[in-house]
Structure 1
Amino acid sequence: MGEITYARGDATVPSVKGVKVIAHVCNDIGGWGKGFVLALSRRWPEPETAYRAWHRERASNDFGLGALQLVQVEPYVWVANMIGQRGVRTGSKGVPVRYEAIDAALARLAGPARELHASVHMPRIGCGLAGGKWSRVAPLVSERLVRRGVAVTVYDHGEG
Protein backbone atom coordinates (compact mmCIF):
# COMPACT_ATOMS: atom_id res chain seq x y z
CA MET A 1 0.00 0.00 0.00
CA GLY A 2 1.93 3.00 -1.13
CA GLU A 3 0.27 4.79 -3.97
CA ILE A 4 -2.97 5.57 -5.73
CA THR A 5 -4.22 2.84 -8.08
CA TYR A 6 -5.59 4.04 -11.41
CA ALA A 7 -8.26 2.13 -13.30
CA ARG A 8 -10.48 2.58 -16.33
CA GLY A 9 -14.18 2.38 -15.70
CA ASP A 10 -16.98 3.71 -13.56
CA ALA A 11 -16.19 4.83 -10.01
CA THR A 12 -19.78 4.02 -8.99
CA VAL A 13 -19.16 0.29 -9.55
CA PRO A 14 -15.86 -0.58 -7.85
CA SER A 15 -15.08 -4.24 -8.46
CA VAL A 16 -13.28 -5.07 -5.23
CA LYS A 17 -14.34 -7.02 -2.17
CA GLY A 18 -15.06 -5.47 1.19
CA VAL A 19 -16.42 -2.12 2.29
CA LYS A 20 -16.13 0.66 -0.28
CA VAL A 21 -16.46 4.44 -0.01
CA ILE A 22 -17.14 6.33 -3.22
CA ALA A 23 -15.79 9.84 -2.72
CA HIS A 24 -16.64 12.87 -4.82
CA VAL A 25 -16.63 16.64 -4.60
CA CYS A 26 -19.79 18.73 -4.18
CA ASN A 27 -20.30 22.49 -4.32
CA ASP A 28 -21.18 24.75 -1.40
CA ILE A 29 -24.41 26.18 -2.86
CA GLY A 30 -26.67 23.13 -2.83
CA GLY A 31 -26.44 22.40 -6.54
CA TRP A 32 -26.62 18.76 -7.63
CA GLY A 33 -27.23 18.13 -11.30
CA LYS A 34 -24.08 18.02 -13.43
CA GLY A 35 -21.03 15.83 -13.65
CA PHE A 36 -20.30 12.77 -11.53
CA VAL A 37 -23.32 13.31 -9.25
CA LEU A 38 -25.57 12.27 -12.14
CA ALA A 39 -23.87 8.85 -12.26
CA LEU A 40 -24.34 8.56 -8.48
CA SER A 41 -28.01 9.52 -8.70
CA ARG A 42 -28.64 6.94 -11.43
CA ARG A 43 -27.50 4.24 -8.97
CA TRP A 44 -28.79 5.51 -5.63
CA PRO A 45 -31.16 8.32 -4.57
CA GLU A 46 -29.74 8.61 -1.03
CA PRO A 47 -26.59 10.71 -1.66
CA GLU A 48 -28.53 13.47 -3.40
CA THR A 49 -31.36 13.39 -0.84
CA ALA A 50 -28.88 13.58 2.04
CA TYR A 51 -26.84 16.36 0.38
CA ARG A 52 -29.92 18.49 -0.30
CA ALA A 53 -31.15 18.06 3.29
CA TRP A 54 -27.65 18.85 4.61
CA HIS A 55 -27.62 22.05 2.55
CA ARG A 56 -31.21 22.97 3.46
CA GLU A 57 -30.46 22.60 7.19
CA ARG A 58 -26.99 24.23 6.97
CA ALA A 59 -27.81 26.84 9.63
CA SER A 60 -27.70 24.04 12.21
CA ASN A 61 -24.99 21.72 10.86
CA ASP A 62 -21.43 21.66 9.48
CA PHE A 63 -22.30 22.16 5.78
CA GLY A 64 -19.59 24.26 4.17
CA LEU A 65 -16.23 24.08 2.45
CA GLY A 66 -14.18 21.15 3.73
CA ALA A 67 -17.13 19.31 5.25
CA LEU A 68 -17.81 15.60 4.77
CA GLN A 69 -21.09 13.70 4.73
CA LEU A 70 -21.03 9.88 4.62
CA VAL A 71 -24.15 8.24 3.22
CA GLN A 72 -24.66 4.47 3.31
CA VAL A 73 -26.24 3.25 0.05
CA GLU A 74 -25.71 -0.52 0.30
CA PRO A 75 -24.58 -2.82 3.13
CA TYR A 76 -20.93 -2.46 2.04
CA VAL A 77 -21.04 0.79 0.05
CA TRP A 78 -20.93 4.36 1.31
CA VAL A 79 -20.83 7.64 -0.62
CA ALA A 80 -18.70 10.49 0.70
CA ASN A 81 -20.17 13.88 -0.23
CA MET A 82 -17.20 16.25 0.20
CA ILE A 83 -17.69 20.02 -0.09
CA GLY A 84 -14.69 21.04 -2.19
CA GLN A 85 -15.83 23.74 -4.55
CA ARG A 86 -17.12 27.27 -4.13
CA GLY A 87 -20.15 27.71 -6.35
CA VAL A 88 -20.34 26.18 -9.81
CA ARG A 89 -19.04 28.79 -12.24
CA THR A 90 -15.62 30.06 -13.18
CA GLY A 91 -15.55 33.79 -12.48
CA SER A 92 -13.41 36.62 -11.21
CA LYS A 93 -12.16 34.44 -8.34
CA GLY A 94 -11.10 31.68 -10.73
CA VAL A 95 -12.36 28.13 -11.00
CA PRO A 96 -14.76 26.69 -8.40
CA VAL A 97 -12.33 24.10 -6.98
CA ARG A 98 -10.93 24.83 -3.51
CA TYR A 99 -7.91 22.64 -2.85
CA GLU A 100 -7.80 23.46 0.85
CA ALA A 101 -11.43 22.34 1.18
CA ILE A 102 -10.73 19.06 -0.65
CA ASP A 103 -7.74 18.55 1.64
CA ALA A 104 -9.88 19.13 4.75
CA ALA A 105 -12.64 16.80 3.53
CA LEU A 106 -10.13 14.06 2.66
CA ALA A 107 -8.60 14.43 6.13
CA ARG A 108 -12.09 13.99 7.63
CA LEU A 109 -12.65 10.90 5.48
CA ALA A 110 -9.51 9.06 6.60
CA GLY A 111 -10.77 8.14 10.08
CA PRO A 112 -14.13 6.69 9.05
CA ALA A 113 -12.54 4.88 6.08
CA ARG A 114 -10.07 3.22 8.43
CA GLU A 115 -12.75 2.37 11.00
CA LEU A 116 -14.87 0.75 8.26
CA HIS A 117 -11.78 -1.03 6.82
CA ALA A 118 -12.92 0.50 3.54
CA SER A 119 -11.19 1.17 0.27
CA VAL A 120 -11.90 4.56 -1.33
CA HIS A 121 -12.96 4.95 -4.96
CA MET A 122 -13.27 8.21 -6.85
CA PRO A 123 -13.12 9.95 -10.19
CA ARG A 124 -10.39 12.60 -10.49
CA ILE A 125 -12.15 14.69 -7.86
CA GLY A 126 -12.21 18.44 -8.34
CA CYS A 127 -10.91 18.16 -11.89
CA GLY A 128 -14.09 18.04 -13.97
CA LEU A 129 -16.60 20.86 -13.71
CA ALA A 130 -14.75 22.27 -10.68
CA GLY A 131 -11.80 23.10 -12.95
CA GLY A 132 -9.01 21.75 -10.76
CA LYS A 133 -5.74 20.12 -11.76
CA TRP A 134 -5.05 16.50 -10.82
CA SER A 135 -1.41 17.40 -10.26
CA ARG A 136 -2.62 19.42 -7.24
CA VAL A 137 -5.30 17.00 -6.02
CA ALA A 138 -3.35 13.71 -6.23
CA PRO A 139 -0.81 14.71 -3.54
CA LEU A 140 -3.72 15.56 -1.19
CA VAL A 141 -5.27 12.12 -1.76
CA SER A 142 -1.89 10.48 -1.15
CA GLU A 143 -1.16 12.49 1.99
CA ARG A 144 -4.59 12.25 3.62
CA LEU A 145 -5.61 8.70 2.68
CA VAL A 146 -2.89 6.52 1.16
CA ARG A 147 -0.26 7.42 3.75
CA ARG A 148 -2.75 6.57 6.47
CA GLY A 149 -3.23 3.06 5.10
CA VAL A 150 -6.38 3.61 3.04
CA ALA A 151 -6.39 1.93 -0.39
CA VAL A 152 -7.49 4.43 -3.07
CA THR A 153 -8.52 3.74 -6.65
CA VAL A 154 -9.04 6.62 -9.08
CA TYR A 155 -11.19 5.92 -12.13
CA ASP A 156 -10.91 7.36 -15.59
CA HIS A 157 -14.02 6.87 -17.66
CA GLY A 158 -13.58 5.03 -20.89
CA GLU A 159 -13.01 1.64 -22.42
CA GLY A 160 -10.77 -0.75 -20.56
Structure 2
Amino acid sequence: MPFELGQVQFVAVEPDLWVANLIGQHEIQRKGVHTDLPPVRYEAIRTGLAQVRHFSREHHASVHMPRIGAGLAGGDWAVLEGIIRGELADQGTAVTVYDLPMRP
Protein backbone atom coordinates (compact mmCIF):
# COMPACT_ATOMS: atom_id res chain seq x y z
CA MET A 1 0.00 0.00 0.00
CA PRO A 2 1.46 3.40 -0.93
CA PHE A 3 1.88 5.98 1.78
CA GLU A 4 -0.77 8.67 1.85
CA LEU A 5 -1.34 11.70 4.03
CA GLY A 6 -2.42 10.68 7.53
CA GLN A 7 -0.99 7.17 7.37
CA VAL A 8 1.52 5.85 9.89
CA GLN A 9 4.13 3.13 9.51
CA PHE A 10 5.25 1.54 12.80
CA VAL A 11 8.76 0.07 12.72
CA ALA A 12 10.02 -2.10 15.58
CA VAL A 13 13.55 -1.07 16.58
CA GLU A 14 13.73 -3.17 19.75
CA PRO A 15 11.14 -5.37 21.48
CA ASP A 16 9.75 -2.37 23.39
CA LEU A 17 10.73 0.48 21.06
CA TRP A 18 9.02 1.58 17.84
CA VAL A 19 9.41 4.44 15.41
CA ALA A 20 6.22 5.85 13.94
CA ASN A 21 6.64 7.37 10.48
CA LEU A 22 3.65 9.69 10.08
CA ILE A 23 2.92 11.23 6.69
CA GLY A 24 1.85 14.73 7.68
CA GLN A 25 3.03 17.02 4.91
CA HIS A 26 2.73 17.36 1.16
CA GLU A 27 6.00 18.06 -0.61
CA ILE A 28 8.65 20.30 0.96
CA GLN A 29 9.07 24.02 1.42
CA ARG A 30 11.58 25.31 -1.06
CA LYS A 31 13.89 28.21 -0.30
CA GLY A 32 12.96 31.31 -2.23
CA VAL A 33 9.53 29.95 -3.17
CA HIS A 34 6.69 31.44 -1.14
CA THR A 35 3.18 30.09 -1.15
CA ASP A 36 0.35 30.73 1.26
CA LEU A 37 -0.02 27.00 1.90
CA PRO A 38 2.87 25.39 3.84
CA PRO A 39 3.70 21.70 3.30
CA VAL A 40 2.24 20.64 6.68
CA ARG A 41 -1.28 19.19 6.60
CA TYR A 42 -2.91 19.58 10.02
CA GLU A 43 -5.70 17.07 9.39
CA ALA A 44 -3.15 14.46 8.28
CA ILE A 45 -1.22 15.06 11.52
CA ARG A 46 -4.45 14.70 13.51
CA THR A 47 -5.39 11.47 11.71
CA GLY A 48 -1.92 10.00 12.13
CA LEU A 49 -1.67 10.90 15.80
CA ALA A 50 -4.98 9.14 16.44
CA GLN A 51 -3.36 6.01 15.01
CA VAL A 52 -0.30 6.58 17.20
CA ARG A 53 -2.61 6.91 20.23
CA HIS A 54 -4.28 3.56 19.49
CA PHE A 55 -0.92 1.87 18.92
CA SER A 56 0.52 3.31 22.14
CA ARG A 57 -2.49 2.06 24.12
CA GLU A 58 -2.17 -1.45 22.67
CA HIS A 59 1.53 -1.53 23.55
CA HIS A 60 1.35 0.42 26.86
CA ALA A 61 3.82 2.90 25.39
CA SER A 62 4.53 6.59 25.82
CA VAL A 63 5.16 8.87 22.85
CA HIS A 64 8.35 10.88 22.32
CA MET A 65 8.78 13.28 19.40
CA PRO A 66 10.38 16.49 18.21
CA ARG A 67 8.18 19.49 17.37
CA ILE A 68 6.70 17.76 14.34
CA GLY A 69 5.46 19.92 11.49
CA ALA A 70 6.87 23.19 12.84
CA GLY A 71 10.24 23.27 11.09
CA LEU A 72 10.69 22.78 7.37
CA ALA A 73 7.04 21.75 7.06
CA GLY A 74 6.10 25.36 7.88
CA GLY A 75 3.42 24.65 10.46
CA ASP A 76 2.32 26.86 13.33
CA TRP A 77 3.54 25.26 16.57
CA ALA A 78 0.56 26.59 18.53
CA VAL A 79 -1.79 24.72 16.17
CA LEU A 80 0.35 21.57 16.19
CA GLU A 81 0.65 21.60 19.98
CA GLY A 82 -3.15 21.78 20.21
CA ILE A 83 -3.47 18.78 17.90
CA ILE A 84 -0.92 16.80 19.94
CA ARG A 85 -2.74 17.66 23.16
CA GLY A 86 -6.12 16.77 21.69
CA GLU A 87 -5.09 13.49 20.09
CA LEU A 88 -2.59 12.26 22.67
CA ALA A 89 -2.11 14.07 25.98
CA ASP A 90 -5.78 14.89 26.66
CA GLN A 91 -6.66 11.28 25.79
CA GLY A 92 -4.35 9.88 28.49
CA THR A 93 -1.26 9.16 26.38
CA ALA A 94 2.02 10.27 27.97
CA VAL A 95 3.84 12.57 25.55
CA THR A 96 7.28 14.14 25.63
CA VAL A 97 8.14 16.75 22.99
CA TYR A 98 11.81 17.48 22.49
CA ASP A 99 13.47 20.59 21.14
CA LEU A 100 16.20 19.34 18.86
CA PRO A 101 19.46 21.28 18.79
CA MET A 102 19.86 23.85 16.05
CA ARG A 103 22.30 23.09 13.26
CA PRO A 104 25.35 25.37 13.20
TM bucket, shorter chain = 0.7 to 0.9
Q: 1: CA distance between counterparts of 2:100 and 2:59?
A: 27
Give the match's secondary structure for 1:73.
strand
Aligned pairs for 1:31-46 (under 5 A) are none
Give the CA deviation at 1:95.
1.2
The corresponding residue for 1:83 is 23
The corresponding residue for 1:141 is 84
The corresponding residue for 1:67 is 7
1:123 and 2:59 correspond: no
1:104 and 2:43 correspond: no
How much is the aligned-residue C-alpha RMSD, in angstroms? Answer: 1.4
The corresponding residue for 1:150 is 93
Give the CA deviation at 1:89.
2.3
- Unaligned residue ranges in structure 1 (runs of 5+): 1-60
Q: 1: CA distance between counterparts of 2:100 and 2:20?
A: 19
Larger relative contact order, structure 1 or 2 (CA cutoff 8 Å, min sep 6)? 1
Give the CA deviation at 1:92.
3.5
Q: 2: CA distance between counterparts of 1:115 and 1:103?
A: 19
Give the match's secondary structure for 1:78.
strand
1:132 and 2:75 correspond: yes
Matched residues, percent identical? 51
- Unaligned residue ranges in structure 2 (runs of 5+): none
Q: Is the 8 A contact 2:29 2:74 kept in 1?
A: no
Deviation digits for residues 32-84 of structure 1 (CA, Å, limit 9, x no counterpart): xxxxxxxxxxxxxxxxxxxxxxxxxxxxx151011111111112110000000
State the aligned residue count: 98
Give the CA deviation at 1:94.
2.1
Give the CA deviation at 1:109.
1.1
Q: Is the 8 A contact 2:7 2:22 kept in 1?
A: yes
